[in-house]
Amino acid sequence: MRNLELFSGAGGLAAGFSLAGFEHCAMVEHQKDACETLRYNYPQTSIFEGDVRNFDFNTLSDVDVITGGPPCQPFSLGGKHQGYQDTRDMFPAAVQAIRTLAPKAFVLENVKGLLRSNFKPYLDYILLQLTYPEVEIIKNEPWQSHYTRLLALTPHTYQGLGYSVSYQLMNAADYGVPQIRERVFIVGIRTDLACQWQFPTPTHDVDALKWIQYVETDYWDRLSTPVPESIKAQIHMVGTRLKRKYGLFAPPLKPWVTLREAISDLPCPESSPHYHPDHYFRAGAKIYPGHTGSYIDLPSKTIKAGNHGVPGGENMIRWETGDVRYLTILEAKRLQTFSDDYHISGVWSEAMRQLGNAVPVKLAQILANALMACLQTATPLLRRGRPPEPLACANVSSISNQN
């Protein structure tokens, strides 16, 4: 199946879709170093470097799926929280691509801040635009007026291109990624396709990790690591709580994957500077309030990009001794589940910015596998513009229930 990738960044979403068997017909990205990253890793794919609003979607045909992460700064908890008033809001461009190419499906990713209560009306507006993409905003029309027109539509009155849209907040750690990373995924299936989309079920959880650290304690043996004093002090209390909850048997899901597990086979970058070009030591890591690093025996904190490099705290390893150092690019790639040979262009701060903006490859592949399976079982209905089903939603209330 052919895929158009918008707002590609370093290509985490694209890499996952490639592993699931999707063919990329084009990628669109405005940032220079990210484009160099894409050109290196996808030499056979057309890369458009520039504003997505200047890309001619009519040059493409037979696009089955559109994917991408519209810039998230308007909704980020760490940003200015301007939402629809922010000129960096690129959801309208994504809707334009869908309107023009009428793909079978789309997958859009954004930050958890999109679910903030003060953005709820605009989130509803975004979802309605994706559901009825052919109902365009009129020139100089306020978005609220367009929103009202969309709200007035029903499955009986709308006969155009339509999508059944659902969204879910997903934590990458719950799917085997060694990073606690919560992101919103929006998936739309064209309503003339008789298939039922379901978000993948989580496979990992924190209790299963605590079980192998506090009850069976085989985690430490497997990694040839002494049990830290902080763990020893809590083994009885935590172990008792877990046994009371699960009895004699371990929790049913797999354990969260920790930072230590992700990088345990890598040598110390300070003592092995020539091991890998992306595995070099960077000095200067320090702990101070709000800047504590990622604990080695948990999934890492969310790797972040930041407007001027990286914040630092999330991108430091913190050992059980309290010592810290910055992650290398190679280690950050491991936490985002890129392959070791995936090339990231730019200096350390730029590479970390790209990685901080990326979708973890493993999570992208899990979503892509589920979407591929869904679309492969789809059977076309009589006409493309069949009225859309009510908006479905996982973990949060759907628009159909909100209005």
Residue 99 lies in a domain: yes
Share of the chain above pLDDT 90, in %: 75
**Domain shared by 277 and 386, yes or no:** no
- Two tokens, residue 68: 């991408």
The residue-averaged pLDDT of 348-364 equals 95
Residue 348 lies in a domain: no
d(CA 66, CA 109): 11
Domain count, the chain: 2
Residue 299 lies in a domain: yes
Kindly tell me if the per-residue pLDDT of 290 is higher than 60.
yes
**Domain shared by 151 and 9, yes or no:** yes
- CATH code for the domain of 42: 3.40.50.150
The radius of gyration of the chain from alpha carbons, rounded to an integer in Å, stands at: 22
pLDDT reported for residue 382? 56
Query: Which of the two residues, 157 and 317, has the higher pLDDT score?
Result: 317
pLDDT reported for residue 306? 58
pLDDT reported for residue 190? 96
Are 326 and 282 in contact by the 8 Å Cβ rule? The answer is yes
Kindly tell me if the per-residue pLDDT of 308 is higher than 50.
no
CA 55 to chain centre: 24
Kindly tell me if the per-residue pLDDT of 100 is higher than 80.
yes
- CATH code for the domain of 256: 3.90.120
Beta bridge partners of 108: 68, 186
**Domain shared by 262 and 135, yes or no:** no
Kindly tell me if the per-residue pLDDT of 88 is higher than 80.
no
- Two tokens, residue 65: 């799926």
Residue 347 lies in a domain: no
From 101-115, 176-190, 368-382, the region with the lowest mean pLDDT: 368-382
Residue 98 lies in a domain: yes
Residue 320 lies in a domain: yes
From 188-197, 228-237, 306-315, the region with the lowest mean pLDDT: 306-315
Q: Which residues contact 111 (CB under 8 A, 6 or more apart)?
A: 72, 75, 76, 77, 183, 184
Residue 148 lies in a domain: yes
**Domain shared by 215 and 329, yes or no:** yes
Expressed as residue numbers, the domain containing 312 is 204-342+353-357
Give the amino acid at 159.
Q
What is the average pLDDT score of the chain? 89
Query: Which of the two residues, 77 and 71, has the higher pLDDT score?
Result: 71
pLDDT-derived band at 67 (thresholds 50, 70, 90) equals: very high
* pTM over cut 0.75: yes
Q: Write out pLDDT tens, residues 211-225.
A: 999 999 999 999 999
From 101-105, 144-148, 361-365, the region with the lowest mean pLDDT: 144-148
**Domain shared by 321 and 230, yes or no:** yes
Q: In terms of residues, how long is the chain?
A: 403
72: left (phi over 0), alpha (psi -120 to 50) or beta: alpha
Kindly tell me if the per-residue pLDDT of 350 is higher than 70.
yes
Residue 45 lies in a domain: yes
d(CA 203, CA 402): 30
pLDDT-derived band at 230 (thresholds 50, 70, 90) equals: very high
**Domain shared by 208 and 247, yes or no:** yes
Active site residue 72: yes
pLDDT reported for residue 79? 41
**Domain shared by 218 and 336, yes or no:** yes
pLDDT reported for residue 313? 76
Beta bridge partners of 182: 171
- Two tokens, residue 223: 């990694």
The residue-averaged pLDDT of 343-370 equals 96
**Domain shared by 14 and 124, yes or no:** yes
Kindly tell me if the per-residue pLDDT of 35 is higher than 70.
yes
Candidates 326, 379, 13, 40; CA nearest to 189 is 379
**Domain shared by 7 and 121, yes or no:** yes
Are 395 and 169 in contact by the 8 Å Cβ rule? The answer is yes
**Domain shared by 253 and 385, yes or no:** no
Which sign does the torsion angle of CA 167, 169, 170, 174 carry?
Answer: negative
**Domain shared by 75 and 50, yes or no:** yes
pLDDT-derived band at 155 (thresholds 50, 70, 90) equals: confident
d(CA 248, CA 150): 54
35, 72, 374, 393: which is the annotated catalytic residue? 72
**Domain shared by 183 and 220, yes or no:** no
Q: Write out pLDDT tens, residues 266-284.
A: 999 999 888 999 999 999 9
Kindly tell me if the per-residue pLDDT of 75 is higher than 90.
no
Kindly tell me if the per-residue pLDDT of 103 is higher than 90.
yes
Determine whether 195 is exposed, middle or buried from the number of CB atoms within 10 Å of its CB (0-12, 13-18, 19+): middle
d(CA 196, CA 278): 42
From 7-16, 309-318, 392-401, the region with the lowest mean pLDDT: 392-401
d(CA 122, CA 314): 30
Beta bridge partners of 106: 66, 188
